[in-house]
Structure 1
Amino acid sequence: MKLTIHGAARQVTGSMHLLEVGQYKILIDCGLDYEKDRSIQSNEDFPFNPADIDVVVLTHAHIDHSGNIPTLVRMGFNGQILSTAPTADLTELLLLDSVNIFMNKAHKGRKHGKGKFGTNAQPLYLQKHVMDAMDRFVTIGFNKPFRITGDIELTFVPVGHLLGAAAAIFKINDNGTEKSIAFTGDIGRKNYPVLDDPQALPPVDFMVTESTYGGRMHTKDKSVEETLIEVIDKCCIKEQGRMIIPAFSIGRTQSLVYSLNKIFSSGLLPPVKVFVDSPMASIATGIFRKYHNLVNKEAQEFYKAQGDEFEFDNLTYVETLKDSRQISNYFEPCIIISSAGMLEGGRIQDHLFYNIQNYYCTILFIGYCAKGTLGHRLLRGDSIVHIKDRDLAVYATIKQTDVLSAHGDHEDLVNNVKQQDKTKLKNVYLVHGEESSMQALSDSLTADGYTVTIPEKGVSYIL
């Protein structure tokens, strides 16, 4: 049995791991690599022949795990794609959105004749390739063993993080010897709005685990509701201003809406108008409703007692671009939730353009912003930012909280491994994190007596 880490090696994006059992090749995740100095087109450069891959196993829908699957199909992959049902639905939504992003960027590249995408840049894939990929999906329920071949069994174990997200657990007969390996995907955190807590993984011989928040701890002194109440009370109640929350459409927005529902329906704050300005968020919320049996017990009990957790008085889902622009004419206190979370494109840029110089506006970041993004520039305190071809002074208040981060922190990651028997777990391979995060997590696990490897990209390991 051989493991090769082809993506998210000593970096966060581009998850792609190859597990070979004899001649049988399993690709776990196939995400887009967004690291700096790499063009989108470079994602075509697979380190293997896509036609040689027998099956793809997808841990969850996020683009850094799923976003290169249509390219794999376009370049010859002809097998099944195994995932949970919510992951399949959310992946289709995200991949179709990626096509729109590719088309827009290619158009801008041709229009300006310069830049990263260049005059001859082509979209990485088209809608046809997305639909060809979706035709290959086979969905599997949680904790239901699925036999891929006579020698390979797959089980999906829920890990929180996103609706449908799972760790992929393989039991393998390798030339008469039984071996097991877990690929965690992205691990969620306990007590997260809407989502169940991560489930403990079964004992395995090897583990490939994410390390995004290695060395970093989440704020634990305040709950999600307490944090939101404090900021909303100051911005929207006392100052009679408006709050803009950049949020990813899938996952983060649904958890935020549910938290606001609990606050306002309990009378913890006076009513405030809330706009969710993201067509994708509206569709994703429909998928959350479709799989309501998979949301956490608290959300299900809320539904039984008070109705739809994603609907409440004063909440409006904004559909059309015309209605989105009309929000600028709403002069009462309000909360605007819009994508994208890092402010790179989407309707959020219109709201920033009209409010960045508003002293009575607070911009609340609830997620990570990568270096080089507009969100990162605002968080580091730039006094002037470039939005929609204009340089604008920043007069709005900029705040950030990690209470809605969907990733487990250092303690969560360590505990996930420590549930394993040291005498059985032979090696832990760290992926999906910056090198400093991987090293911090490695140091903690090594001190606890675990064997840890931080793989180099493309290096193979015989298991």
Structure 2
Amino acid sequence: MKLTILGAAEQVTGSMHLLQLTNYNILIDCGLDYEKDTYQHENLYFPFDPSTIDVVILTHAHIDHSGNLPTLVSMGFNGQILCTAPTAELSELLLLDSVNVFLSKQNKRSGSKRSRTGPEPLYQQKQVMETTDRFVTIAFHKEFRLHENVTLTLIPIGHLLGAAAIVLTVTENGSTKKIAFTGDIGRKGYPLLSDPEPLPPVDYLVSESTYGGRLHSRDTTLTQKLIDIISESCIKYPGRLIIPAFSIGRTQALAYTLNKIFSTGLLPPVKIFIDSPLAGAATEIYQKYPQLLNREAQDFYADKNNNSGFKELSYVQDKRESIAVANYHEPCIIISSAGMLEGGRIQDHLYYNLQNYYCTILFIGYCAKGTLGERLLRGDPIIRLRNRDLMVYATIKQTDLLSGHGDHNDLMDIVRQQNPSTLKQVFLVHGEHKSLQALSGSLQEENYAVTIPKKGESFEL
């Protein structure tokens, strides 16, 4: 059995791992690599023949794990894509949204004219639909036989609705071995989602390391943090609060928390607009699987008063409604995508509010270096948007209390479920250099054997 790390090696995006058995090849995740904004070069090339892959197993729907599946299919992959039901539905939304992103990059504006100067789309809607036709959904905790010598079990891992850790049991040459892939590990106590579940004893573990060496804020609760910011920006002063948020996962957790705040009377009513059609579609999927939410969320939504009482929230559907929100002059909260401000309707709201002294912009997620969000967070006094230089008079705030990734302690807890004397190797992926080194050092101190693979590096298991 040979494991090759083909993506998210010494970086965060582009998760893809190949497990080669005797006459059977398994690909775990097939994500877009957009680390250096070179998606054409990095994602069109596969270091294997896609037609030789027998099955793909998908940990969760985020694009850095699912986003290159249509390319794989268009280049000859003809097998099944296995995942949970919510992952299949959320992946379809995100892949179709990726098509729109590709087209927007291709159709760049030059003055008043639109010209196709950007790169060709990696794939289009036809390829997405061909890909989603290959999804086969399986339930958590149910052993699924992939092959006469291989079984698969999916374990809830938090992070996103339907997200799973993968446990494979492989028998070859009279020997049975277990290997687990964590995917992205959720944090404990996250809104809506259950805590990551323990993994069974395995021989090899491929673990993410995004927040290695970093701890989430613990000096206040998410509820109290939002109450303080809303009170300051919308109640004490008649302003508006703009929250850039990823449409799937982050927005649903935020809306749930706001529902709890306003439904229980912790704050007087404030109008809330969710300006993202993708978020609305994702919310319907979340509502479809209440049994996968945590117990607190299930109990909350079981009380009809909590739902009927949250009348201040509106989902914005079309561009006309979005423009109306921009012209809404009462105190309000606007939640819109994208989270790093790179495109999407959020840019409309920024354009009209960056120079508004009574506006607060609250970042609830990570902003990659070079993005518009990162420039605001580092304190740039002038932002260029739509060929215009805008002075930043709005108040800029940030919190990590809605991050969907487990921190250093959460990552350590997942590995600590394994006995260091029987776990043969931990492979750390999906992290920047500093995070990888920090998590590796902590694990080695507890006597775990740790490897930080390079891209394309193979290991005989």
**TM over 0.5: same fold?**
yes
Per-residue deviation, 1:21: 1.2
The within-5 A match list for 1:283-432 is 283-306=281-304, 312-432=310-430
Q: Which residue of 1 aligns with 2:25?
A: 25
Structure 2 letter corresponding to 1:124: L
CA positional deviation for 1:39: 3.6
2:106 matched to 1:106? yes
Rate the CA distance shift 1:363–1:120 in 2: closer, same or farther, 3 A. Answer: closer
Higher deviation after alignment, 90-99 or 327-336: 327-336
| Distance of aligned partners of 1:395 and 1:200 in 2 relative to their CA distance in 1, 3 Å threshold | same
* Structure 1 partner of 2:210: 212
Q: Which residue of 2 aligns with 1:461?
A: 459
- Matched letter for residue 283 of structure 1: A
Question: Residues 215-247 of structure 1, C-alpha deviation per residue, up to 9 Å, x if partnerless?
Answer: 000001211101100110111110111000000
1:127 to 125, 128, 146: 125
How far apart, in 1, do the equivalents of 2:185 and 2:448 lie?
19
Query: Gaps (5+ residues) in structure 2?
Result: none
Distance 1:39 1:143 in 2: 35
Shift of 1:307: 5.1
Residue by residue over 1:291-326, the C-alpha shift from the partner in whole angstroms, topping out at 9 and shown as x without a partner, is: 111111111101122356598121111001011011
**Which runs of no fewer than 5 residues in structure 1 stay unpaired?**
none
| Cross-structure match for 1:146 | 144
* 8 Å contact from structure 2 (residues 259, 306) kept in 1: no
- Aligned with 1:98: secondary structure? helix
Cα pair distance change 1:3/1:237, threshold 3 Å: same
Asked if 2 retains the 8 angstrom alpha-carbon contact of 1:110 and 1:119, the reply is: no
The answer on whether the counterparts of 1:109 and 1:121 sit within 8 Å (CA) in structure 2 is no
| Alpha-carbon distance in structure 1 between the residues aligned to 2:245 and 2:42 | 28
Residue 461 of structure 1: how far off its partner (Å):
0.3
**Superposition deviation, residue 44 in structure 1:** 0.7
Q: Answer with 398-407 or 220-229: which moved more.
A: 220-229
Alignment partner, residue 5 of structure 2: 5
Q: Is the Cα–Cα contact under 8 Å of residues 258 and 310 in structure 1 kept in the other structure? A: no
User: 2:67 & 2:23 partners in 1: Cα distance?
Assistant: 26
- The question of whether the paired residues in 1 share the 8 Å contact of 2:260 and 2:306 is answered with no
Q: What TM-score, normalized to structure 1?
A: 0.97
1:439 equivalent in structure 2: 437
**% identical equivalent positions:** 64
Q: CA–CA distance in 1 between the matches of 2:340 and 2:118?
A: 27
Question: How far apart, CA to CA, are the structure 1 residues paired with 2:313 and 2:117?
Answer: 43
Distance 1:33 1:19, change over 3 A: same
Give the total of aligned pairs.
Answer: 461
CA-to-aligned-CA distance 1:44-99 (integer Å, 9 cap, x gap): 11111111111000000000000000000000000000000000000000000001
SS in 1 for 2:413: helix
What is the CA deviation profile of residues 102-129 of structure 1, one whole-angstrom value per residue up to 9, with x for unaligned ones? 11211118999999xx837311001010
Aligned residue in 2 for 1:48: 48
Q: 1:108 to 1:359 in 2, by over 3 A?
A: same
Superposed counterparts of 1:174-185, under 5 Å:
174-185=172-183
Equivalent position amino acid for 2:174 in 1:
G
Give the distance between the partners of 2:301 and 2:37, measured in 1 at CA: 46
Larger mean CA deviation between 450-459 and 326-335 belongs to 326-335
Correspondence list, 1:264-283, <5 A: 264-283=262-281
Task: Please give the per-residue CA displacement for 1:239-272, whole angstroms capped at 9, x wherever unaligned.
Answer: 1110000000001000000000000011111110
